[in-house]
Chains A and B, each alone.
Chain A
Amino acid sequence: NAGVTQTPKFQVLKTGQSMTLQCAQDMNHEYMSWYRQDPGMGLRLIHYSVGAGITDQGEVPNGYNVSRSTTEDFPLRLLSAAPSQTSVYFCASSRQGGSYGYTFGSGTRLTVV
């Protein structure tokens, strides 16, 4: 049982490049979400999804797109990377209701130069 798998673990991008951070879970969780972690800021919610075909914006959605075509996958797209998007990105999933705890991936460390 792999849990939540994020790829890649590390990535360096040049300003203006695009890329997709992958997130997959094998627990049949309905809820999935993306966060960014910056020093002194905690984790901030970027986008989230309550099921296939349904997504919504979080606290800091600008510059990011998401889609959820299957229950298992929830990719995060950076359309035109900026240095301000240098961060550690976490994907998480949870069963409906959320009381069971959210399972997090191991994170992607992204640097935009």
Chain B
Amino acid sequence: AQKITQTQPGMFVQEKEAVTLDCTYDTSDPSYGLFWYKQPSSGEMIFLIYQGSYDQQNATEGRYSLNFQKARKSANLVISASQLGDSAMYFCAMKKTQAGTALIFGKGTTLSVSS
């Protein structure tokens, strides 16, 4: 069965600094997909970035990048140049099946950005 582990309940960073949010995963499927979602205090779930297990390069989307280390089964989210608006809960997730029928989530990391 798939499992996502996020070991950092809370992280603190100052504006304009970079921050890394950790995510490790476990799966026996050779083909899988990993996601990061942001949940601000308003509660909506915002899709940030996706990494497929066969993708040759690490995914990037603007200030977000995914540090994908397949052998270590880690998929850390890197946020460059943090902004106050980055303060939120961040969830790492994995496709439940190779077909991607649903998601399995980690418990989340709360990021606080200060000025």
Please tell me if the beta carbons of B43 and A106 are within 8 angstroms of each other in the complex: yes
A98 to B106, CA, bound (A): 18
B88 to chain A minimum Cβ distance, whole angstroms, is: 14
Please tell me if the beta carbons of B105 and A44 are within 8 angstroms of each other in the complex: yes
CB neighbours (8 Å) of A90 from chain B are: 45
Which of A82-109 touch B at CB < 8 Å? 88, 90, 92, 94, 96-104, 106-107
Which of B1-15 touch A at CB < 8 Å? 4, 6
Please tell me if the beta carbons of B103 and A45 are within 8 angstroms of each other in the complex: yes
A35 to B102, CA, bound (A): 10
CB neighbours (8 Å) of A41 from chain B are: 107
Please tell me if the beta carbons of B104 and A97 are within 8 angstroms of each other in the complex: no
Check B35 for interface membership: any CB of A closer than 8 A.
yes
Check B40 for interface membership: any CB of A closer than 8 A.
no
Given A98-B33, A101-B35, A104-B45; A35-B96 close (CB under 8 Å) = no
Encode contact with B along A26-42: 1 for CB under 8 Å, 0 otherwise. 00000101010000111
Check B64 for interface membership: any CB of A closer than 8 A.
no
Which of A26-69 touch B at CB < 8 Å? 31, 33, 35, 40-45, 48, 50, 56, 58-59
Given A31-B100, A42-B107, A96-B99; A101-B47 close (CB under 8 Å) = yes
A41 to B45, CA, bound (A): 15
CB neighbours (8 Å) of B33 from chain A are: 98-99
Given A98-B95, A104-B45; A42-B105 close (CB under 8 Å) = yes
CB neighbours (8 Å) of B104 from chain A are: 45, 59
Partner of B100, one of A58, A97, A103, A107: A97
Encode contact with A along B58-101: 1 for CB under 8 Å, 0 otherwise. 00000000000000000000000000000000010101100111
Encode contact with A along B23-56: 1 for CB under 8 Å, 0 otherwise. 0000000000101010000011101001010000
A32 to B4, CA, bound (A): 21
CB neighbours (8 Å) of B95 from chain A are: 98
